[in-house]
Structure 1
Amino acid sequence: MSEKYYTYEIDAVTFQLQEACDFTWLRKLGKVFKVFDQQDSGNLSFGVEKEGQKYFVKFAGAKPLTYDGNPQDAITRLIEAIPLYKDLRYEALITLVSHFEVGSGYVAVFDWFEGECLHSHWLFTGEAKLSHPESPFYRYKQLSVKKRLASLDVIFSFHEHVELQDYVAVDFYDGSILYNFTSDETRICDIDFYRLKPTVNDVGENFWGSTRFKSPEEFILGAPIDEVTNVFNMGATAFVLLGGATDRSFAKWEASQALYDVALRAVCPEREQRYRNVAEFILAWDKVGLV
């Protein structure tokens, strides 16, 4: 028995959904040149162009083929995420332009950034992500250590800013990182699960996030999720972008021993052994980075 899918052709893109959906609202935003329809978040996103300007349009309310949840849950999450992009506005964060309700869901419109997602799972999965010559992650790892350190500085400084606004990062991973290989610019996207402090792990083992980036407390129901958690996240990010990801051996590390030592302390399983906050972590990182 074959399942029924609904196929849509809008301007330059074609995609399929599990349920019928109205997209008449989309035409008002411009000409569609790209679709991102493989997200398990329940969001369906588009690249659109209008009067020479490009935008990234995130829509909740459809049911993509890869989504097994309730579209209403995705709508609620997107609506709740809107204040995050306002409160955490920063040069390195993609810019929210507008947001509004449509008959079948909710829409958030962002300025388009000419970058590539480092976790492009819809194009490169498994080993292909790590070794395919066209994979953004593989190409990023071929950049000089100097360029990757500059990119990490952007990621770290944004999260120090997050900390200063009394928020904590939740579900930050390489899928949240965009990189422009022409201009060597880094941007942060998809901060939809970030939270105001204080907060705790209210899910348990399946708390939001990639296992490559999650701290021990992000697997424990009721554990605090705070700036110490984010220190771990930043250390884990350093190991993904400069080392062997979850293989945190020095043999896989591409930068200095001193930076390795800072990153290793950041990912210490014991919270009290880590840096107290992202600002303190950056101070230690920058101090040895100058050597």
Structure 2
Amino acid sequence: MIDLLTVHRSPHRPEEMVRGAGRVLARYDHRTQDSGNVSWIVRTPEADLFVKTAGEDASPPDGAPTPLLDHAARVALLRTAVEISRTVDHPVLARLRNVAETPTGPMLIYDRAPGRLVGVPSEHRQDPGSSYRRFAAAEPGIRLAVFDQLLDAHRALAAAGWVACDLYDGCLMVDLATTRLTLIDLDTYQRGAFPNGMGTMFGSSRFMAPEEFEFGATIDARTTVFTLGRLICHFGTGLTEDLADFCGGGAAGRVIARAARPAREDRFASVGEFADAWSTARSSTRP
């Protein structure tokens, strides 16, 4: 039996290690994503774990999509995820338990997050039973509690210098029974402001700021503010995008409207400023 929580280097490939650690509950590869990463949920004697790797340094299987990034770039992003875990201690961030070096790069071993992933493939977004629709229709108190956690976590990330990239509903694991949020897949976050070197950056266009489509534009805290505002608007209005439907009331709705303004200079200058304004607005509506 392989103990994934204590092994730090192994000559074995990740698939062998995972299968030697316990019962594989799920495998995520080219059949469910185009990143090139390969991940597993594995039940071990200690706990249920989520294991993430950069996949193989090889051509994709026949019929599989070509990964968006090559193997070396995927490895670099996993090391960014490790750096985030080491620089920011916040209960909303997925808990990284161990990193094991293997012949194909690092294996990141996390606690399995409770709840369900809010983001679903576009063809499932109309399904009322999907986690996407269920979160959007959840009681206002549940959604607001999740938004509070989302902003508080990003306050901590921003304080450590991290700028959000590719933040979308596929990063949100929500347990509706406990209102607990877990943030996952923050590998593409970057330390400090940087220029848009791609033109159209990674992300979901539903939540991306205008500068994420403009080559050479500055990506910084105001960009993070926009994406957070769009996420909260999208789900806080029950998907209508009309702030008259916002579950947090008018004052909080006005804060969200400012966060998601197209012009950078019209938004909050920092995540902390946004979070403070949100907290003040929320306090004014609590009984």
TM-score tier after normalising by the smaller chain length = 0.7 to 0.9
What secondary structure does 1:29 align onto?
coil
Partner SS for 2:20: helix
**Unmatched tracts of structure 1, length 5 or more:** 1-20
| Match of residue 36 from structure 1 | 28
Structure 2: which amino acid aligns with 1:87?
T
| Cα distance in 2, alignment partners of residues 136 and 76 from structure 1 | 31
* CA-atom RMSD in angstroms: 2.1
- Does the 8 A contact of 2:211 with 2:218 survive in 1? yes
SS in structure 1 at match of 2:25: strand
What's the TM-score once normalised by structure 2's chain length? Answer: 0.85
TM-score (norm 1): 0.84
Q: CA deviation at 1:140?
A: 0.9
What letter corresponds to residue 250 of structure 2 in structure 1?
A: Q
Aligned length: 264
Where does residue 174 of structure 2 map in the other structure? 179
Alignment deviations for residues 117-145 of structure 1 (CA, whole Å, 9 cap, x no partner): 00132xxx33x32x323311111122111
% identity of equivalent residues = 28
**Matching of residue 25 in structure 1 with residue 23 in structure 2:** no
1:160-189, CA deviations, whole angstroms, 9 ceiling, x for partnerless residues? 001110111111111000011232211111
Unaligned runs of 5+ in 2: 1-12
Change (3 A) 1:164 1:177: same
User: Aligned partner of 1:103: which letter?
Assistant: P
Q: What is the alpha-carbon distance in structure 2 between the residues aligned to residue 61 and residue 289 of structure 1?
A: 43
Q: Which protein has the bigger strand share? A: 1
Q: Between the two structures, name the one with larger relative contact order (CA 8 Å, sep ≥ 6).
A: 2
SS at structure 1 position matched to 2:174: strand
Provide the C-alpha distance between the structure 2 equivalents of 1:274 and 1:225, rounded to a whole number of angstroms: 13
In structure 2, C-alpha distance between the alignment counterparts of 1:275 and 1:151, rounded to whole Å: 20
Q: How does 1:1-291 map to 2 (within 5 A)?
A: 23-37=15-29, 38-62=32-56, 63=60, 66-69=64-67, 70-121=70-121, 125-126=122-123, 128-129=124-125, 131-204=126-199, 206-243=200-237, 248-291=241-284
* SS class of match (1:158): helix
